[in-house]
Chains A and B, each alone.
Chain A
Amino acid sequence: MILFQSWRQNISDFLEETGELAFFAGRFFREVTRRPFEFKELLRQCYNIGNRSLLLVAVTGFIIGLVFTLQSRPKMMELGAEAWLPSMVGISIVREIGPIITALICAGRIGSGIGAEIGSMRVTEQIDAMEVSGTNPFKYLVVTRILATTLMIPLLVVMSDFVALMGSWLVESIKGDVSFFYYFDEVFVSLDFADLIPSTVKTFFFGFAIGLVGCFKGYNCKHGTAGVGVAANSAVVETSMVLFIIDFVSVLVSDLIF
């Protein structure tokens, strides 16, 4: 009985939070089209979000490309399919590994940062101070951050994909004496629009989800400084879950379309 009640409570909490998140997203879409537009803050956020994650995303992407090729190469050689390695790595990275790994890293780096920053502003009454000074805090803090993540995550993914392919080429060039032009020619020949379009479109959704959940958690932060930690932590956990759901849905949809 107690177990049943606990499950019921968990499901009820989950549905309640999902509803609140949907309202929060609805408010974003209402506010994003209304004046005044906070262009300066948007640019600042774009710079912060892109710049803050650039090195981390680049290093991670490079290592993934390197490791993926190192691990796949012996098996491909065994099967006599060594020539297919650039194509396989290219498709894997562009379609799946690049977007999802970059988004997960950004969820940890950016999502938690947004959750903690806005959460700390909430508990120290900075958001209230903004409101009484006549600035709409939702527009200034939330809309700009969600837009910035939506615009910057796709760029970070493109960069991460390129760096990962560079890592992969480095292994190929050392172990297989493959030239840069030959390697990238093989990669681009194997990729078509059906690979590029869905994987690019979904990164906008990834960015939106990272910004939305981070802002939602921070904006609704309660219970003082302990609440800030909870907001940052749950922003990462819940964003990661949402990212996998978006990824799954995008694969289903692109399978239907392409």
Chain B
Amino acid sequence: MAQSESKKSVISIRNLKKYFGQHMVLDGFDLDLYEGESLVIMGKSGSGKSVMIKCLVGLVPHDNGTINIMGRDLDLADENDMDYIRTEVGFLFQGSALYDSMTVRENLEFPLRRHTRKFGEIDDATPLVLEALRDVGLEDAIDLMPEELSGGMKRRIALARTLILKPAIILYDEPTTGLDPITSKEIVMLMKRIQEQYKTSSIIITHDVDCARYIADRMILLVDGINYAEGTFAQLDASTDPKIQAFFKT
């Protein structure tokens, strides 16, 4: 409550509902993300976490409820609003989703081609590409193809591609899944550094308790399509509710 009074909400979700046929995935989910905050969402596999953030960027249409991103209602957004949202909201996909027919440079240049509103017409994108690659510590990979990169490098390049548009919000869909513990830790530390450096707000979907412990300012547990519990890592970790404990004591 104190947070909502002191900080501006950049994403607000109210009563979000999503069904796949008869199967209910989200049943009135609410969420507020505040400026500069890292919000971790945890839930069991199939609990609708990924569906929820895909609803946030319009990749999956929701059935009911409202989504407001930086003052723009997603349902009422016209093409300009969507362009604005696409620029201000970065998305890091679970499997990195690098364009495998393009080099790292082309992958990073790709989002710039549509967003002339923020950057103007760009004749030479190399300085921006190099800056984004420097942020993730992979300047030397600029001319490599995605197939030449390791899993951790792919994740970093995907993050660089997200960063190149200088978004105000970054959505992370299971950023450490499939990585070894050391690389996972590196990615989490990188996410933390990026957040501090660019003052971004983040929603992080994860199963990784260590990741949540390190990065979360606040957490939401998504159970049965609703936000079952909300609080800091320490508050939820100390809870005696068996459904909450199931996430922490494994």
Contacts and interface: CB of A to CB of B under 8 A. Distances in A.
B111 interface: yes
B98 A134 contact: no
A126 B97 contact: yes
A117 B58 CA distance: 24
Interface stretch (B18-26, B88-96, B137-145, B194-202): B88-96
B192 interface: no
Interface in A76-134: 117, 120-121, 124-126, 128-134
Nearest to B115: A134
Contacts of A131: 58-59
Contact of A126 (B94, B99, B115): B99
Interface string A118-154: 0011001110111111110000000000000000000
A117 B93 CA distance: 19
Nearest to A120: B100
A134 B59 CA distance: 12
B7 interface: no
B113 interface: yes
Given A133-B111, A133-B114, A125 B86 contact: no
Nearest to B57: A132
Interface string B96-107: 011111000000
Contacts of B98: 126, 129
B94 A134 contact: no
Nearest to B113: A135
A134 B99 contact: no
A42 to B, nearest CB: 15
A142 to B, nearest CB: 15
A133 B87 CA distance: 7
B49 to A, nearest CB: 15
Nearest to B101: A117
A241 B59 CA distance: 33
Given A128-B59, A129-B91, A135 B97 contact: no
From DSSP, what is the main secondary structure of chain A's interface residues? Answer: helix
Given A134-B111, A135-B110, A135-B114, A129 B83 contact: no
A129 B93 contact: yes
A121 B94 CA distance: 14
Interface in B189-227: none
Contact of B91 (A120, A121, A126, A132): A132
A28 to B, nearest CB: 20
A133 B59 contact: no
A131 B91 CA distance: 10
A124 B97 contact: yes
Nearest to A117: B101
B85 to A, nearest CB: 9
A132 B95 contact: no
Contacts of A130: 99, 110
Chain B CB within 10 Å, residue with most, of A36, A124, A130, A131: A124
Nearest to A133: B111
A125 B114 contact: no
B67 to A, nearest CB: 14
A125 B60 CA distance: 13
Given A126-B100, A128-B59, A133 B95 contact: no
Contacts of A120: 100
Given A132-B59, A133-B110, A134-B114, A125 B83 contact: no
A130 B111 CA distance: 8
B146 to A, nearest CB: 10
B88 to A, nearest CB: 11
Contacts of B161: 133
A35 B115 CA distance: 14
Chain A CB within 10 Å, residue with most, of B57, B87, B93, B97: B97
A130 B106 CA distance: 13
B42 to A, nearest CB: 21
B83 A128 contact: no
Contacts of A129: 91, 93, 97-99
A134 B83 contact: yes
Contact of B95 (A36, A125, A134, A135): A125
- Which 4 residue pairs of A and B lie closest in terms of their CB atoms, listed nearest first? A134-B86, A129-B97, A133-B111, A125-B97
Interface of A: 36, 117, 120-121, 124-126, 128-135
6 contacts: A129-B91, A131-B58, A132-B57, A133-B111, A134-B82, A134-B111
Given A121-B99, A125-B97, 5 more contacts: A125-B93, A129-B97, A133-B86, A133-B165, A134-B87
